[in-house]
Amino acid sequence: MGRKNYMFYILLPVLAFLFTGCEPDLKNPNIILMMADDLGWGDTGYNGNEIIQTPHLDQMSEEGIRFNRFYSGSAVCSPTRASVLTGRNPFRMGVFTANKGILRPEEITIAEALKTHGYVTGHFGKWHLGTLTYEESESNRGRPGNLKDYNPPALHGFDVAFSTEAKVPTWDPMKRPVKGSGGGGGSGWASIDPDAPYELYGTPYRDIHGNKVSENLDGDDSRVIMDRVLPFIEDAKESGSPFFAVVWFHTPHKPCVAGPEYRELYKDYDIKTQNYAGCITAMDDQIGRLRAFLTENKLDENTMLCFCSDNGPENGNPGSTGGHRERKRSLHDGGIRVPGLMVWPAGTEKPFTTEIPCVTSDYLPTILDIVGEDMSQWPHELDGSSLLPLIEDGELDRREPIGFAFGDQSAWVDEQYKLYSRSGEFALYDMQDDPTESEDLKASFSEMADQMTKGVTDWLDRCQGSFQGKEYGTESVERMEQRWQNPLLKEKNKEDE
């Protein structure tokens, strides 16, 4: 073999890397799912808020896909989080509301599925799908000997974690003012002076092994979280592995607290607005920091970056639904229509806005469709649909409307109509002509109402079958001592305590 030919074969791997290795691997994009806590549809600049500054979210809305009708899987926190990770409605899994039930161990999460495709996985921020300890009292449900609710991220496919069981203050997350010091109540307070005494809030951050984290916990909570996300991404890059990061901010769930520099941005408003708007802008700054980091590390092109909220704004805070009806805990749109964004330069030809209804249950089938998972073999019934056709062609053919169930409420949503019920009393709305759900069309469109009533009833029957063991038995339901809750009952559901 001549020297020239020999050198060609030596250089061939190098040439292959230079000319193909730099191309994005569209089958294995990096994936980051960000979610705010109690952020209303109208709490962002791009959705018309004239007070709260969210320049980085606004930029995402211009550079990616803006979902004008993006829905959280439920009207409160924990159920929506379960829907994100499983592609299934939480009513199938017994995550009926916050601090009830757990993400059942038999469920298959995005993290577990992606690990079979070579991904490293991390969870950062609020978990709220079970407790993180059974050795001591903490947060909402953690207590000595409580194995029933013990359910950390490590049991659901995550390699790395920096997680809390539930809520923390959005500034100095480990601290609360000393009782009697004049500090605020559960809604929030002025940030604690560095030299002032304080009490522990009682919800620690824990790592993947369940150890309490004690360092770098002061200041903005979104920054505290992002300080752990960026090293995780850097480590994944150095290992050559694609990564999956779940980043669940606590902002702007109460207690809302903003640092002095963020309150100063809103000094012309009352303290409650200063804290609420300030902590949202602080979170937005960290989203901008994340995007800059991805760009600096040449990871932005093939990273799918998503953002939403877990439900609408809490009652009694300055949050905005953008004019949609009702708020958190309601299945009217004010409680479940939330900001929805996706930026993935390698996977989308150009930015666009869609009015097609999408939901947090769509994350799993979308992601697994992208990585080439054979979803026809998926062992559990999914409520979400793959959004890949929407990402690629701007169209989506959902096999059935999106279903919701919470307490004594249900909803059944397609591209035009929404059937809403409370305690078995139904109303029909045209969401294209009447997005504020002000006119009940059930009497005028009785045939449509009857058709959608049958649809939601059949869907709830399937959910009940899943809950009661049709797919993987009843061991975890019995462990949690749970009973099925039917939202179509005339009388309010009461779960055995």
* Contact by Cβ (8 Å): 457, 421: no
- Domain coordinates of the chain in residue numbers? 27-393, 402-480
The pLDDT score that the predictor gives to residue 166 is 98
Q: Which two tokens stand for residue 178?
A: 């000393």
Q: Which two tokens stand for residue 228?
A: 């752990």
The pLDDT score that the predictor gives to residue 182 is 61
The pLDDT score that the predictor gives to residue 44 is 98
Q: Which 3 state secondary structure label does DSSP give 134?
A: coil
Percent of the chain with pLDDT over 90: 91
Q: Which fold has domain 27-393?
A: Alkaline Phosphatase, subunit A (3.40.720)
pLDDT in tens, 123-174: 999 999 999 999 999 999 999 999 999 999 999 999 999 999 999 999 999 9
Q: Which 3 state secondary structure label does DSSP give 387?
A: coil
The band of 183, judged by pLDDT with boundaries at 50, 70 and 90, is low
Q: CA-CA distance, 296 to 288, in Å (whole number)? A: 12
Query: What single-letter DSSP state applies at residue 380?
Result: S
Task: Name the helix (H) or strand (E) containing 222.
Answer: helix 221-239
Peptide bond connecting 153 to the previous residue in cis, omega within 30 degrees of 0: no
Measure the N-to-C terminal CA separation of the chain; round to a whole number of Å.
80
DSSP letters of 273-333?
HHHHHHHHHHHHHHHHHHHHHHHHTT-STTEEEEEEESSSPPTTSS---TT-SS-TT-SSH
pTM score over 0.75: yes
Q: Cβ atoms within 10 A of the Cβ of 496, count? A: 6
pLDDT in tens, 346-397: 999 999 999 999 999 999 999 999 999 999 989 999 999 999 999 999 999 9
What are the CA-CA distances from residue 277 to residues 285, 294, 314 (Å)? 12, 26, 14
What is the maximum alpha-carbon separation in the chain? 88
**Domain covering 402-480 assigned CATH 3.30.1120.10 in the classification:** yes
The pLDDT score that the predictor gives to residue 27 is 82
Q: What average pLDDT does this structure show over 30-56? A: 98
